[in-house]
Amino acid sequence: MCTEHGFHLLQDCRPATSSAAGEGQVPNGSAMTRRAALAAAGAAVATVGLSGTAQAAPATSMVQAPARRWRRHGLMDLTHPLSPTTPAFTPGEEAVRSTVATLAKDGYYMQEWKIIEHIGTHVDAPAHFAAGRRTADQLTPAELITPAVVVDISAKATKDPDALVTVDDLRAFEKRHGRIPEGCAVLMYSGWGAKVGNAAAYRGADAKGVLHFPGFAPEAAGWLVKRRRIRSVGVDTLSIDHGPSQSFDTHVIVNSAERYGVENLANLHRIPPTGARIMVGLIPFYQGSGGQARIFALW
């Protein structure tokens, strides 16, 4: 039976179960990685404010240009294509592709991919940084189809690669565009997508291996969760925490509140600051800490 408006999830669902986010962790070593930080994800949340210098990179075919005039109605793909050259948070975690069948030999074409859940345009499920929270297959369609707002910090990100979305930025956004609606996705546009074709520049690692790229300040994430009751946060960088973070406080805040993050978004400069709705086509990996997603904006 059809209704005038509505949606239904067309998939074979396994029983919903919770799993600890700590499975498959890498033991702590001299170099902190995101996976190693999972062991300390329950630590007290602290403000992180480190500085650094990102590597310069030439523009690519997916350059993030300054915001333009938007059509009254539009549809935009916010997804970067996934390939073996897609930048990984940690070198060595890149996707691996091989051809296992060809039309000439087998009569059909098929590839095999080896990927982690957190590469390319993807979702961080609540279980990623919060024990006992929901996994990728437990997020509902109503949570994955939401209104969206885009907070533009590209001007300060040009001057400071460690730029943060702050509470002041959010208040300034509301002064210009109105109150951030409850249940929406708050997306950061920093212009960092212009570097996606150069993994070294996109990661922004300095001589000590510290990463440098923009993200959400923990205070801003907490403010959005508590004061605006948002559904998710998203970024056009590798992480919702900015590059220098080693405690991933923004992840902990967002995931602990049963909200999800979206990373490595594309084309945020091509959707309006308010009025769009995003559709997050998350792969529902069983007990997944997250997963790749095809994401569209419609307005």
Average pLDDT, the chain: 84
| Greater model confidence, 70 or 231 | 231
Considering the entire predicted model, what is its pTM?
Answer: 0.80
DSSP, collapsed to helix, strand or coil, labels residue 199 as: helix
Residue 55 binned pLDDT confidence (cut-offs 50, 70, 90): very low
pLDDT at 6: 59
pLDDT in tens, 155-177: 999 999 999 999 999 999 999 99
Architecture of the CATH domain 65-298: 3-Layer(bba) Sandwich (3.50)
Residue 71 binned pLDDT confidence (cut-offs 50, 70, 90): confident
The average pLDDT across 88-106 equals 98
pLDDT at 47: 34
**28 has pLDDT over 50:** no
| Greater model confidence, 208 or 49 | 208
| Greater model confidence, 23 or 209 | 209
Q: Which helix (H) or strand (E) holds 254?
A: helix 249-256
| Greater model confidence, 34 or 44 | 34
**294 has pLDDT over 50:** yes
Residue 5 binned pLDDT confidence (cut-offs 50, 70, 90): low
Q: CA–CA separation, 90 vs 173, rounded Å?
A: 33
Rg (CA), the chain: 19
Q: What are phi and psi of 73, to 5 degrees?
A: -130, 140
